[in-house]
Structure formats: C-alpha cells, structure tokens
C-alpha cells in the first residue's frame, strides 16, 4: 500500500500547500487551509492499475442513446430544466439556500417516480420529520425508503444492498467519510464523498441527486468543485418570504443551460407555474410611471417580465444607484446613455431598479426595458400599457439586434399585448406568419425612437 502524505488544501481555491499556513498563498484567504491525506500518484501504470479493461471506441452513429434512456419525472417544470427528463446514471446537484424548498421538491419527485425504488438519505432530518412533511404535502410514494445516514461507507453499503433506481442525498454537506480526518462539511469531505457517490451512480446505474446548501456568498459550498463533477447543476432561486421559486439549470450535460422552471410554494408543497409570463406580470399597475414590460428569453421560452424603476430627488451628495435582479454596472451605462444622448439627466436623482418576481435578468435585450422604465419614472409619465419591448442599447444610443425575436413577438401577442418595440435589424425580414399576429411590431433604430414608440 502506498504511503499517505499529509498536505494542506485551501477550501476556497483548492491550492495545495506542504505546510500549514494561516493565509492561503494563492488566493490570500485566511484560515482556509485544511489538512488532507493524499495518496501519492502511482509510479507506473501497473501499480495503480485500474480494474477497467478499457473501452473499445464506438462509431458516432452507433452511440445514439436508445429509447427509454430518459425518464420523465412528470413534473413539467422540472423536466424542462433537466432538458427533457432524467438521464440514467446521471448525477444532479440541487443547490439553494436553506428553507427554499429543496427537500420539498425531492419529495414531489419521489412521489412522481413511484413505483421506482427510491432511497432518500437524510443527514439533516429524521425519518419522522420527513414523514410529517410528506403527510402535509399529501405525498404518496410507496417505494420510497428513508435512511438517516451520514457515514459514506454505510451509505454506499445500503445503496449496494437496496439497488435503488434513484438516490437522494440530503445534503451532501452532512456526508462524511472516516477515510479523511477533516470534519463534515469541509471541502475535502464534500469533494471526496461526492466523487465516490457519483462513481457508484455511474457503475450501478442509478440516478443521483445531491442536495447542496448555498453559502452566504451565493456559491455552492465546496467552491465550484462539485459543479465540475456532476452532470447537471440546478439552482433554486427566490426569496424565502415570497411564494415563487425559480429553478435554473446552470450546467447541463444533457440539455440547454439557463432554462428555468417556475414554482409556487403552497400549503401542500410546490406547485408548478406553467404560464410564467402571467405570473411575472400579474399584479402590475398600468397607470404608474416607471414600469415597463420586457419580452425576455429564459432558456427555450419567452417570458414577459415587469421592470420597475423609481426615480426621485436625492438627499445625498452622491445619488444612490440600486438594482435588484439587474447588473448595476449595466444600469449605470444605460443611465449614462440616457444622459448623454437624450439629455435625460439623472445625476441629481436616486435611481432604484427592480425586476418583479425576483427574476435575474442577464441578457442584453433587457437594456431597453430598463431605459424605458427609468425614463418613464424620471418624466413621471406612464408608458403605453399594452406595449412590450426588447433591445440591446449601444453606447451611441442605437438599438442593437437581439436573439430570438420571433418567440418574443409570439409571447407578447399571446398575452394580448398590442405592440412590441424591437431593434429595426430584427424586424426587417419578418415571417409572414408573424405579420398576421394581432400585434404591431415596431422596429426602431435608436433609443429615442423606441421611447417615443413606448409613449415617452
């Protein structure tokens, strides 16, 4: 047996040091080095010889997955973020803040996959707590087995014995192995335990769900290492005190990323929101200045989202710029364009921007909706209530082409909007079927034109 050596691994950046130091030499974080036992690399192929005989290459067309490779969960919004159901032998990491609904979603999933055998390994809650939750949710899952276990070796043994089709580990932070000296929840433990569980999933052909808590900084604990190891990473978003929950796929080897699934937390668990546009624009007030409607693209679908801006005289020497759900730097650029190109001065004003429903907008096409909401708030003039918009804004105040304009137009028309403002580049050659929709498609070249079109 090769001799083990002790090294110190930084839990922030993964740098390896030979001696203990208070401060990581790589990322300069304090107190992040953890003692880790590492087996030396095998000197020759023979010494570290693996049991696998090696895999013969296959032809591209031979390797087409057979039917039945995917397993639909029956929860439409979850299947959507998974890229069309669960893949056999895949490992999925579900991250989110405590209390956001990860365990609840897992129980729904278990009920939907019944009668497949499911093993729920819970290091956080006792079987009775899980039973109580299941009762509250009126979940019926006859073949769901609970194992209150945190020891990795015991978990692997129970999986081997029970041969489940799906294993849920809630949460990976509670699992630890006696092979490593560091305490549960540390990077070494999380990484090594996850890696052995994932290997078991691939070898024994079961689907593995790993639940992970998000740290205060908003990253999955065990910085990024887990994300590389699994096939799919789903992230729960939403505020604890609000009802909606958004599940976003941030990585998916079996489907597109940035797909979202929208849920609502109700008395008896999570309920799907199958028409998110209605949800994101419900409760909006049409006669208030500072509100605009963006036709956004999230993954493979278009969603209408309300953007709100509050612009008011500042009482500070430095005006405040605050935004939730939108990048603050991009907001500053949009304010600068409004000021320089359209002489809309905001230097004496506090500007607050908020995306309704807690959605985070990343795509450039959100620019125009932000500019429109801010201008409307600044001029104290409500925008055209039945108009939606999408466009990227250039620094000269021009509108730049965006992706997927067709889906945006269709969604706005579907929800009864009378007009949609898009960059002119997107409207030059429209399909005849789009022209027949009961919506006016306004192509604009500049921000000025777009704002006029929107009623400013």
Which residues bind to ligand TYD, rule: CB under 6 A? 96, 98-104, 133, 136-137, 265, 267-269
> Which one, 120 or 180, has the nearer CB to Mg ion?
120
Beta sheet of 5-10, edge-to-edge order: 16-17, 5-10, 33-38
CB of 100 to ligand TYD, least distance (A): 4
> Which one, 123 or 299, has the nearer CB to ligand TYD?
123
Asked whether the beta carbons of 92 and 209 are under 8 A apart, the reply is yes
Retrieve residue 162's tokens.
Answer: 């029970």
> Which one, 107 or 402, has the nearer CB to Mg ion?
107
CB of 106 to Mg ion, least distance (A): 8
Q: What is the rounded CA–CA span in Å between residue 419 and residue 386?
A: 7
Q: Identify what 223 binds: ligand TYD, Mg ion, none; CB under 5 to 8 Å per kind.
A: none
CB of 442 to ligand TYD, least distance (A): 43
273-278: long-range contacts at Cβ-Cβ below 8 A with a sequence spacing of 24 or more?
273/77, 273/244, 274/76, 274/77, 276/301, 276/303, 277/302, 277/303, 277/304, 277/305, 277/411, 277/414, 277/415, 278/415
Determine the 3-state secondary structure of 43 from DSSP. Answer: coil
Asked whether the beta carbons of 271 and 263 are under 8 A apart, the reply is yes
Q: Identify what 104 binds: ligand TYD, Mg ion, none; CB under 5 to 8 Å per kind.
A: ligand TYD
Retrieve residue 3's tokens.
Answer: 């001799």
CB of 170 to ligand TYD, least distance (A): 7
DSSP 72-83: --S-HHHHHHTT
Place of tokens 């989202």: 305
CB of 71 to Mg ion, least distance (A): 23
Q: Identify what 101 binds: ligand TYD, Mg ion, none; CB under 5 to 8 Å per kind.
A: ligand TYD
> Which one, 48 or 98, has the nearer CB to ligand TYD?
98
Residue of minimal Cβ distance to Mg ion: 103
> Which one, 42 or 99, has the nearer CB to Mg ion?
99
- Span of 102-110, 145-153, 175-183, 309-317 interacting with Mg ion by CB under 5 A: 102-110
> Which one, 71 or 245, has the nearer CB to Mg ion?
245
Using only C-alpha atoms, the chain has a radius of gyration, in whole angstroms, of: 26
DSSP 218-277: SSBTTTTHHHHHSSEEEEEES-TTSSEEEEEEEEETTS-SS-EEEEEEETTEEEE-S-HH
Angle at 24 between CA 20 and CA 29, to 5 degrees: 130
Helix ranges restricted to H, 37-75: none
> Which one, 194 or 399, has the nearer CB to ligand TYD?
194
Angle at 387 between CA 384 and CA 391, to 5 degrees: 120
CB of 269 to Mg ion, least distance (A): 13
For Mg ion, the binding residue among 11, 12, 90, 103 (CB under 5 A) is: 103
CB of 113 to ligand TYD, least distance (A): 17
CB of 230 to ligand TYD, least distance (A): 18
Q: Identify what 268 binds: ligand TYD, Mg ion, none; CB under 5 to 8 Å per kind.
A: ligand TYD
Q: Identify what 299 binds: Mg ion, ligand TYD, none; CB under 5 to 8 Å per kind.
A: none
Q: Identify what 265 binds: Mg ion, ligand TYD, none; CB under 5 to 8 Å per kind.
A: ligand TYD
> Which one, 13 or 137, has the nearer CB to ligand TYD?
137
For the chain, give percent helix, strand, coil, nearest 5: 30, 30, 40
CB of 104 to ligand TYD, least distance (A): 3
> Which one, 109 or 353, has the nearer CB to Mg ion?
109
> Which one, 37 or 131, has the nearer CB to ligand TYD?
131
CB of 173 to Mg ion, least distance (A): 11
User: How many residues does this entry show for the chain?
Assistant: 456
326 burial type by CB count under 10 A (0-12 exposed, 13-18 middle, 19+ buried): buried
Asked whether the beta carbons of 162 and 117 are under 8 A apart, the reply is yes
- Span of 47-55, 76-84, 96-104, 335-343 interacting with Mg ion by CB under 5 A: 96-104
Using CB under 5 A, list all residues that contact Mg ion.
103
């Amino acid at each position: 047996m090769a001799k083990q050596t002790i090294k110190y691994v930084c839990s922030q950046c993964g740098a390896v040091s030979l001696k203990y130091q208070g401060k990581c030499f790589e990322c300069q974080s304090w107190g992040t080095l953890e003692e880790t036992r590492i087996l030396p690399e095998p000197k020759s192929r023979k010494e570290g010889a693996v049991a696998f005989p090696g895999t013969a290459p296959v032809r591209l067309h031979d390797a087409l997955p057979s039917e039945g490779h995917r397993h639909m969960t029956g929860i439409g919004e979850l299947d959507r973020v998974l890229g069309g159901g669960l893949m056999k032998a895949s490992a999925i990491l579900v991250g989110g803040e405590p209390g956001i609904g990860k365990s609840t979603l897992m129980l729904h999933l278990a009920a939907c996959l019944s009668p497949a055998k499911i093993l729920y390994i819970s290091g956080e809650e006792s079987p009775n707590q899980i039973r109580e939750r299941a009762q509250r949710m009126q979940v019926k899952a006859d073949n769901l087995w609970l194992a209150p276990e945190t020891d990795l070796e015991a978990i692997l043994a129970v999986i081997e014995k029970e041969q489940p089709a799906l294993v849920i580990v809630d949460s990976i932070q509670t699992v630890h192995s006696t092979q490593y000296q560091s305490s549960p929840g540390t990077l070494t433990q999380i990484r090594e335990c996850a890696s052995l569980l994932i290997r078991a999933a691939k070898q024994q052909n079961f689907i593995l769900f790993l639940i992970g808590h998000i740290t205060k900084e908003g990253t999955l604990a065990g910085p990024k290492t887990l994300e590389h190891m699994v096939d799919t990473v789903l992230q729960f978003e939403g505020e604890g005190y609000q009802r909606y929950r958004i599940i976003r796929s941030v990585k998916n080897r079996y489907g597109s990323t940035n797909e979202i699934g929208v849920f609502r937390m109700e008395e008896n668990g999570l309920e799907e929101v199958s028409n998110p546009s209605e949800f994101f624009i419900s409760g909006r007030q049409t006669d208030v200045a500072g509100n605009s409607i963006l036709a956004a693209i999230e993954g493979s679908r278009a969603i209408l989202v309300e953007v709100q801006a509050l612009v008011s005289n500042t009482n500070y020497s430095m005006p405040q710029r605050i935004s939730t759900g939108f990048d603050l730097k991009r907001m500053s650029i949009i304010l600068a364009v409004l000021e320089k190109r359209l002489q809309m001065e905001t230097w004496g004003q506090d500007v607050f921007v908020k995306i309704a429903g807690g959605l985070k907008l990343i795509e450039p096409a959100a620019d125009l909706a932000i500019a429109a909401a801010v201008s409307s708030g600044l001029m104290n003039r409500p925008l055209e209530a039945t108009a939606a918009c999408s466009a990227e804004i250039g620094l000269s105040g021009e509108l730049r082409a965006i992706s997927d304009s067709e889906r945006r137009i269709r969604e706005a028309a579907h929800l009864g909007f009378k007009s949609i403002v898009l960059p002119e580049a997107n409207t030059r050659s429209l399909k005849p079927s789009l022209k027949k929709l009961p919506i006016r498609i306004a192509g604009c070249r500049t921000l000025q034109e777009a704002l006029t079109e929107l009623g400013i």
